[in-house]
Amino acid sequence: MILTVTLNTALDLTYQVGALVPHTSHRVTDVAERPGGKGLNVARVLAALGHETVVTGFAGGTTGDVLRRLLAPLPVRDALVPVGGPTRRTVAVVDASTGDTTQLNEPGPVVTPAEWAAFLTAYDTLVHQARAVALCGSLPPGIRVGTYAELIRRARAAGVPVLLDTSGEALRRGIAARPDLVKPNADELAHLTGSREPLRAALDARRRGARAVAASLGPEGLLAVTPDGTWRAALPAPVRGNPTGAGDSAVAGLLSGLVEGLDWPERLRRAAALSAATVPAPAAGEFDDRTYRELLDRITVTELAPAA
């Protein structure tokens, strides 16, 4: 099975409006409510691809109860650890006239030392059953910034490959623990390295400790710098819609390719196709299967450099 970790799970609300205009009232044309957080989105895509997936992290309060109720019918196993504080909500407002999305994210519950100890016990058990682990998203209050580094070390000690998808100081600390793969977006990569040139920044990120770096570049596709070589996956054309969750679908593509033993160009092709196919989907954690199938044959993967 594949384990995804979402320490800061969320109840995701998506509002569709005709046009988002500041300082005015809006009539919402559609509302979607989903169990969310990056790792839960990744798990839903992995399950849709046919992979056995387990989700862990924290859930608490009324919103946590709603999240778990929505998660129950989905083909993923719930191993979330209860906390006393309420799970956060995120609100995405989609402007139908432009396709742009405005995101509002709450901070999440304060996690106590006892709750963290309970999570570590569950994590250690699950890691030893996993073929791969994804550590995803922000850290809730009460969790120290070096937490992902600790979880990476535990996974590596168990001989399980680990992917890290976070940002800011959590990414900086985590990458030093030598994860097998990090998946930043262009802004996160620039913030980590100080460089806006993707290839230079990805090379720098590898020097900081990551075995491989796969950077999502939005409509420009994906860039991977790995021990086996460097590749760029390019879309044939931009896809219109809501990009929320596109990076999470890319993570699912990379992880599924890893456990299936695909080479890097095919992992990138799948990740780029899934990411783009999420844009026209109703919400994060889903993808449009027809778009995905069409794009698989149309994405160009170019080798930029052979293995060093």
Instruction: Give the other-Cβ count within 10 Å of 211's Cβ.
Output: 14
- Catalytic positions: 248
Q: For residue 283, report the phi and psi dihedrals to the nearest 5 degrees.
A: -160, 165
What percentage of the chain carries pLDDT values higher than 70?
A: 99
Map tokens 């490959």 to a residue.
Answer: 161
- Give alpha helix (H) positions in the chain: 38-48, 61-71, 113-127, 147-157, 168-175, 186-193, 198-207, 246-260, 264-278, 289-296
Query: How is residue 238 written in tokens?
Result: 């931009």
Which of the 8 DSSP states describes residue 24? S
Q: What kind and span of H or E run contains 57?
A: strand 53-60
Top mean pLDDT of 90-94, 102-106, 246-250 is at 246-250
Which has the closest alpha carbon to 20: 116, 125, 96? 96
Give CA–CA dist 61/78, Å, rounded.
16
Confidence at residue 307, expressed as pLDDT on a 0 to 100 scale = 66
Map tokens 């100080």 to a residue.
Answer: 194
Per-residue pLDDT tens over the stretch 178-190: 999 999 999 999 9
Contact yes or no for 85/7 (Cβ under 8 A): no
Which has the closest alpha carbon to 163: 137, 188, 139? 137
Contact yes or no for 5/58 (Cβ under 8 A): no
Per-residue pLDDT tens over the stretch 245-276: 899 999 999 999 999 999 999 999 999 999 99
Confidence at residue 263, expressed as pLDDT on a 0 to 100 scale = 96
Strand partners, 94: 16, 101
Mean pLDDT of 230-241: 89
What are the respective helix, strand and coil percentages of the chain, to the nearest 5? 35, 25, 35
What pTM did the predictor assign? 0.92
